[in-house]
Structure 1
Amino acid sequence: MPAAIQDRQTAEKSRTPLVVRLLVLATFVVILNETLMINAIPRLMESLHVTEQAAQWVSTAFMLTMAAVIPITGWFLQRVTTRQGYAIAMGVFLTGTALSAAAPSFAVLLLGRIVQAAGTAVMMPLLMTTLMTVVPEQDRGRVMGNVTLSISVAPALGPAVSGLILQLGSWRLLFVAVLPIAGVVTYFGLRQMTNIGEPQVSSIDWLSAALATLGFGGLVYGLSLFGEGNAQLGPTIGIVVAGAATIAIFVLRQLKLQRTGAPLMDLRTLGVRTYALSLTLMCVAFLAMMGSMILLPLYLQNLRGLTPLQTGLLVMPGGLAMGLLGPTVGKLYDRIGGRPLVLPGSIGIVLALAGFTQVSTTMPYWQILGLHALLMVSLAAIFTPIFTLGMGSLPPHMYPHGSSILGTLQQVAAALGTALVVTVMSARTGQLVADGAATAAAQLSGMKLAFVVATALAAATIVVAALLPSRTAEAPAEH
């Protein structure tokens, strides 16, 4: 018996638990859709007769829905089994995908994307909480490296995959192609899925859920309106201020509930220094990644005249490099710790974005490919360590709250990045066109300014990376 137990333990250490592998596969499929529409924005503008600001909402609305739903998933996942949570998440996602594929108008397409996002939102905390529960601490870097494939590489590969599909026909094919894949993943996942833990009866503060939705949604919506001209400046500032004020009320509500009841988000997790630093670094990194992934297709297709397929092929090497490096980075983290990976990765992000500030109508394509690859490799170097360090620094009873906060702010940061770069680019372009500049030159100047803003924000990651520890300190039992 002792020999059999030892053999089983050795086998368990050599591979990722089946339940985690199934969740990684499903999460990869659903998160891929977060950025699948980025390459299709020019096609949507032409097909559905919408503006650039409106078209980018197929991505922004997806992220904002996730930011609104993820805070509720901690409560939801406590009340259902792992199999039930998986079935509901994938069922909702499949419904949204079918609705988007058949959408007769932009409004219906947007509704389908929101339904898709609601299903996706359940998968992320389900995966993270399950991983932290079933994987021993000494193996978390390796396993988290594989999880990086779904959390960060899937959105990175979205534009490349969509570019290939769009070459074959309508933007509807993006959803038609995903539907059978998601269906197969759902079927086999349900056949093999095992339950982790037992459901618990718990309450939810619906006021907190409403405040989170209105606050974060209002803030990002307001930011996205800034590029629409001075006539909208007053109402836009009002929306932004109202969103920020609602977030402040949400925070006060959570602080009160921490003393008297069960908060929707336990903000005491932010008192854990390593978790707070990891969260900050993750937010800025996602902002930079999503901002660049919005700008590059617009630059390559609108100013350089590339097709969606050519655009996808140009950014594919970077996305593939990020995916291939995920497991390797995880193993390196287990061996050498986080800081030796995160600090060079942060510097690489800044250098790549700084390179993109020099884009022109004649920049060599090999240079664009190289800068994009540097950005993706640098992001791969930081995502696995900061996820592992951040979650590992929390005591086990804080895992659901830590996962909820991380997932929510990840999506808000990505949505803010999208809204910020489009707003900066549109405002600069509009100003130069009004001053008499040619449209193409004005668009190029707007893109360069947007990359400058992204570079300045990314520079903060170097400071945060230097403050992170290499290893997770032992988390206290209570906090």
Structure 2
Amino acid sequence: MNAAGGAASSQHKDLGDIKRLPILITLVIGAFFSILNETLLNIAFVDLVKDLNVSYTTIQWLSTSYMLVVGILIPISALLVQWFTTRQMFLGAMILFTLGTLVCALAPDFSVLLSGRIIQAFGTGLMLPVMMNTILVLYPPEKRGAAMGSIGLVIMFAPAIGPTLSGLILESLDWRWLFYLVFPFGVLSIIIAAIYLKNVSDVTKPKVDILSIILSTIGFGGIVYGFSSAGGENSGWSSPEVYLTLIVGGLALLLFIWRQLISKEPMLNLRAFLSPMFALTTVLIIIVMMAMFSTLMLLPIFLQQGLMFTAFTAGLILLPGGILNGFLSPVTGKLFDKFGPRVLVIPGTAILVVVMWLFTQIDLDTSKGTIILYHCIMMVAISMIMMPAQTNSLNELPRKYYPHGTAILNTLTQVAGAIGVAFFISMMSAGTKDYVIENAEKVDPEKLGALALNAGIHNAFYIGMIFAIVGLVLSFFLKRTKAPEEA
């Protein structure tokens, strides 16, 4: 695509003598704790509001800012991984994350804690693309499924155990220990990486397009912020803060796309979408992520506000599914290497459709065991879809597109997460309000709130089921891809 990239393509590093396993372990350890951090803090919000003397609207910025920074940084990472070596990127990411963790642990007030979270987010935003790009370079296509499955274990298992681990820690210790306990593992990851991590990527140092960086930041940042704000307590789709941010972000994103398409050396090479399976899989993953978020966001709300479980109990109920998904990811990765994507993705999306329908049937009398079973089935379906589909799509790309392909998938996954959170909370709220309006005089006032919430949950799950059905239709068009011949 450009001179530097073409030169790199013909002068790839000789990876024959590099031991892959130590590098994979290094990546997994670093990624586990940075991704764990995304959900570790959410359950501590009640304690933080009291301790730091701020409102819930303010404390939500600890999550919103994290998602915002990661959403902004991932597209830029496609450029960064071509300017810096694997070691520089990974060590830089882990140093930033570990430094941010220390700042959070020692934070005397909310502003310092928020600053620490932003520093952590910079580390995580660099971590995910570096990790996936390294796997693509390090492993041949016929072995990538198993390696990506190991990454899938981290990506799904870490956030799944976050709320449970956080609840366990907070029963005996204060919120600062959520950071004190992560800090030494960050230091350990830096030491292991310094010893074992090797440079495997090609440093081509393409031209830095400042305007593309600005447009990307405003575009992706505006969209993530707008959708995240729409799901807030005091915001809604009619709020100027929401729709103006979305409009500005959308316009900037259109300009960014146009600039990438006309540029000879684009920051984020959207020509990756010319690969049919990459384009199809990107849409499929966004849709599946939306369906998944309808469950990951709504179930904890239903468990705590509908069934009146504690946050720790709710975390325990969701833990088996998260663990099951984590351990199945390497298995589905190996199955993908052997059988290809269709054997996994088509049944996976079919199971997802069924389980989304089952979630529309839950009510205030549903048992813990039933919810655990449904959640486990859903997480099995997700493990059959996500990593096999992602690996298959990336296998189709030429090596010079690896940084761009991983950045595109990670960025759109982040944006889908932000959209999913806001959209399904809005659907739940709309269903809840409609139930109250229609049944306020018919239902016992003491039960009205819980029944209305249950109706709202059903409303959102039906929408999630529709997303899953669309995903099932798309899955029938998947084909096994082969790595293209490099020039």
- TM exceeding 0.5: yes
Partner of 2:340: 337
Determine if the alignment matches structure 1 residue 462 to structure 2 residue 472. Answer: yes
Q: Is the 8 A contact 1:66 1:120 kept in 2?
A: yes
CA contact (8 A) 2:83 2:203 kept: yes
The SS at the match of 1:305 is coil
1:101-120 matched pairs, under 5 angstroms: 101-120=105-124
- Residues of 1 paired with 2:109 and 2:288: CA distance? 34
Amino acid at match of 2:86: T
CA distance in 1 between partners of 2:85 and 2:418 (Å): 31
Distance 2:298 2:347 in 1: 24
2:252 to 241, 246, 249: 246
Contact 1:338 1:386 (8 Å CA) reproduced: yes
Per-residue deviation, residues 39-76 of structure 1 (Å, max 9, x unmatched): 34455556556666655543343223112101112222
Q: Specify which of 376, 380, 399 is matched with residue 396 of structure 1.
A: 399
Give the CA deviation at 1:452. Answer: 2.4
Matches of 1:130 and 1:54, distance apart in 2: 37
1:381-416: CA deviations, max 9, x gaps? 112211210110101111111111111111111121
**Letter of the 2:347 counterpart:** P
Offset from partner CA, 1:81-139 (integer Å, 9 cap, x none): 22221221011101222222334444443332222111011111111111111212221
- Whether the 8 Å CA contact 2:102–2:179 is kept in 1: the answer is yes
| 1-structure distance, mates of 2:434, 2:108 | 35
1: CA distance, partners of 2:177 / 2:22:
31
Could you say if the C-alpha distance between residues 439 and 46 of structure 1 is closer, same or farther in structure 2, counting changes exceeding 3 Å? farther
Q: Secondary structure at the match of 1:201?
A: coil
Counterpart residue number, 2:144: 140
In structure 1, what is the equivalent of residue 388 of structure 2? 385
* Aligned-residue offset at 1:427: 4.4
Supply the distance in 1 between the matched residues of 2:410 and 2:87 (Cα, whole angstroms): 21
* Counterpart residue number, 1:325: 328
Q: Structure 1 pair 55/360, CA: closer, same or farther in 2 (3 Å)?
A: farther
Specify which of 164, 169, 179 is matched with residue 168 of structure 2. Answer: 164
**Quick one: which of 449, 453, 473 aligns to 2:482?**
473
Change beyond 3 A, Cα 1:30–1:229: closer
TM-score in terms of structure 2 length? 0.87
Deviates most, 238-247 or 83-92: 238-247
Q: Distance in 1 between matches of 2:309 and 2:46?
A: 12
CA–CA distance in structure 2, aligned partners of residues 29 and 135 of structure 1: 23
One of 419, 442, 455 as aligned partner of 1:445: 455
What residue is the counterpart of 1:88 in the other structure? Answer: 92
Secondary structure (helix, strand or coil) at the match of 2:279 reads: helix
Contact 2:293–2:417, Cα closer than 8 Å, also in 1: yes
Residue 60 of structure 1 contacts residue 419 of structure 1 at CA under 8 Å; is this kept in 2? no
TM-score, reference length from structure 1: 0.88
Aligned to 1:357: 360
* C-alpha distance 105-362 of structure 1, shift in aligned 2 (>3 A): farther
Mapped to 1, the partners of 2:20 and 2:106 lie a distance apart of 38
Contact 2:278 2:393 in 1 (8 A): yes
Change (3 A) 1:232 1:328: closer
CA contact (8 A) 1:125 1:407 kept: yes
Q: Say which of 155, 158, 168 aligns to 2:159.
A: 155
Query: What residue is the counterpart of 1:295 in the other structure?
Result: 298
**Matched residue type, 1:171:** W
Partner residue in 2 for 1:274: 277
CA distance in 2, matches of 1:231, 1:77: 37
Question: CA 1:361–1:157 in 2, change beyond 3 Å: closer, same or farther?
Answer: same
Q: Which residue of 2 aligns with 1:308?
A: 311
* 2:213 aligned with 1:203: no
What is the match of residue 220 of structure 2? 216
The answer on whether the counterparts of 1:277 and 1:464 sit within 8 Å (CA) in structure 2 is yes
Please report how far the alpha carbon of residue 278 of structure 1 lies from its aligned counterpart in structure 2 after TM superposition: 1.5
SS of match in other structure, 1:189 = helix
Change in 2 beyond 3 A, CA 1:42/1:126: same
Q: Over the residues paired in the alignment, what is the CA RMSD in angstroms?
A: 2.7
What pairs up with 1:411-422 in 2 under 5 angstroms? 411-422=414-425
The 1:268–1:419 alpha-carbon spacing in structure 2 relative to 1, beyond 3 Å, is same
Asked if the contact 2:359–2:461 (Cα under 8 Å) also holds between the matched residues in 1, the reply is yes
Matched residues in 2 for 1:152 and 1:230: separation? Answer: 29
Question: Is the alpha carbon distance of 1:231 and 1:370 closer, same or farther for their aligned partners in structure 2, counting shifts above 3 Å?
Answer: closer
Contact 1:223–1:423 (8 Å) recurs in 2: no
**Alpha-carbon distance in 2 for matches of 1:103, 1:449:** 41
Amino acid in structure 1 at the alignment position of 2:475: A
Aligned partner of residue 38 in structure 2, secondary structure: coil
Query: Partners of 1:218 and 1:262 in 2: how far apart?
Result: 25
Q: Which runs of 5+ in 2 are unaligned?
A: 1-14
Q: Distance in 2 between matches of 1:370 and 1:294?
A: 17
Provide structure 1 residue ranges, at least 5 long, that are not aligned to the other structure. 1-7
| Sequence identity (%) | 36
Contact 1:39 1:297 in 2 (8 A): no
Contact 1:87 1:190 in 2 (8 A): yes
- The answer to whether the 8 A contact 1:16-1:143 is kept is no
Q: 1:77 aligns with which of 78, 81, 84?
A: 81
Q: Which amino acid aligns with 1:122?
A: L
| Letter aligned with residue 196 of structure 1 | V
Which amino acid letter does the alignment assign opposite residue 100 of structure 1?
A: C
Instruction: Please tell me the residue identity of whatever aligns with 1:391.
Output: L
1:195 partner SS: coil
1:4 aligns with: none
Cα contact 2:278–2:396 (8 A) shared by 1: yes
Residues paired across the two proteins, number: 464
Return the alpha-carbon distance in structure 1 between the equivalents of residues 206 and 433 of structure 2.
Answer: 51
- Match of 1:116, as an amino acid? Q
Question: Counterpart amino acid of 2:128?
Answer: M
Could you tell me how far 1:204 is from its partner in structure 2? Answer: 1.9
Q: CA deviation at 1:453?
A: 2.3
**What is the aligned counterpart of 2:243 among 196, 218, 237?**
237
